[in-house]
Amino acid sequence: MLLPLKAVVSTKVRKDGKSVIYYQYCFSSTHRVLLNTDIAIPKACWNSKRQCISKSLPTDLGGFEDLNAELGRIRKVIETIIEHGLSKGDRNIGAYVKEVFKPDFKVDTLQSTRIATYVRKKEPDFFSEIDDYILSKEKKVCEEGVANFRTMKHRLMAFEEFRKRKIAFSSLDYNFYHQFVDFLTHDFLHKRKLIPEYGLKISTIGRTIKQLRIFVKDRVRRKAVAPIDMDDFKILDEETDAIYLTYEEIGKIYALDLANDPVLALHRDMFVLGCLTGLRFSDYSTLRGSDLRNGLLYKKTSKTDSWVVIPLRSEAIAIFERHYATGVPAISNSVFNKCIKEIGELADIKDMITFSYKKGNKDISVAKPKAQWITSHTCRRSFCTNEYLSGEVDISLIMKISGHKTHKEFFKYIRVTQEEAAYKIQAIWQMRNNMAAFPLPKTA
């Protein structure tokens, strides 16, 4: 009987320089399981063509002939388990083999009561598991993070209704991925729109897929479901168009006379504080008086659960003492975004900005005054970009304050126009005395 079974060596190298040998069982066109043989060798000693350990194996690691014989025995054990599972009519043959197999498994125990009566657990309800997952996150992550998973659930439920077929964990294969992405791209209906609007941006779809992968990985880790291979669930992405405000524009907002509108004044001050600290909305909207100590702001960020320490300018300290010393009222992100757009218009931030994005294979451009592009996240982008453009602060120090772990993530926040990039290079050249330190050879 020919089985889709082959030995492979892990790409991961352990500290001792050896890699584990697995048997890979492909039980469908899109699903496979890896079965650990507990045999590890230097990767260079593996003959992938002949599926065996080569003679070059150092003698102190064991005889290559004995180890190859052990691999042969393990292969026969796996083949027997597969045949037994198929004869029992188990539909989830991959999960069956994964649960039963052990490198020292004795095939004669297949007829024992424990194995012969193996019954695959009833697959849990997909959306009930999402509810349980969201509940487990409510006390650990910020409300924005929880809302993202609720949005993911809403889109999956819309897809289930659209395709008129129940979603289960066993549904999550390559075909499901493509059908789901296609639905989100062309057929997903936006709620609460006066004019019907269909389809999501590529970057938005990518975030939904990312959240789905995180959820499934959590359920597998908790052994609520059998392992699911989601390597083919690619996280689509495109560069996000987003604005930042210069310190001059932030100053115009800070200088607005809003004495007759205390609500807008509060939102304005919170926004400016965010621009001067680089904090996320979930953090600068929940500051407390005790977070300020000796002119430094100490905050444990809600998204990454890590501490940042931020030096404050005099304007930031004044805002903090004016509002946060006694605690600000709870403010929703949506209300904040609406107010700050109004404030941007009052500050006369009205340059027309055009951004483009993709929906499926279509390029869509939208032009609006700059104030209408402002959101709560503009604060964080403004802080990072302004400090970067100053050229006076080392990037690693900016990242200490912003909390970014990698340069790749940090540079996603930098919004530099072509003109700004040119001016920045020009300033560097001037510091070099117009390249006098690097003279070009004279021409004839």
**Helix, strand, or coil here: 270?**
helix
pLDDT (0 to 100) of residue 28 = 77
Contact of 24 with 6, CB cutoff 8 Å = yes
pLDDT (0 to 100) of residue 119 = 44
Helices (H), 173-290: 174-186, 202-221, 247-254, 262-277, 281-284
pLDDT (0 to 100) of residue 238 = 61
Task: List residues bridging with 108 in a β-sheet.
Answer: none
pLDDT (0 to 100) of residue 435 = 52
How do residues 228-242 score in pLDDT, each as one tens digit?
888 889 987 765 557
Alpha-carbon distance of 55 to 10, in angstroms, equals 19
How do residues 311-335 score in pLDDT, each as one tens digit?
999 999 999 988 887 777 888 888 9
Report phi then psi at 23, rounded to 5: -100, 125
Amino acid identity, position 49:
K
pLDDT (0 to 100) of residue 2 = 46
Alpha-carbon distance of 358 to 200, in angstroms, equals 9
pLDDT (0 to 100) of residue 254 = 95
The pair of structure tokens assigned to 345 is: 């218009």
pLDDT (0 to 100) of residue 1 = 41
Helices (H), 278-411: 281-284, 314-319, 333-346, 378-390, 395-402, 407-411
Task: List residues bridging with 358 in a β-sheet.
Answer: 363
pLDDT (0 to 100) of residue 266 = 93
Q: Which residues contact 371 (CB under 8 A, 6 or more apart)?
A: 341, 344, 345, 347, 349, 350
Q: In the chain, which stretches have pLDDT less than 50?
A: 1-2, 113-120
Amino acid identity, position 263:
V
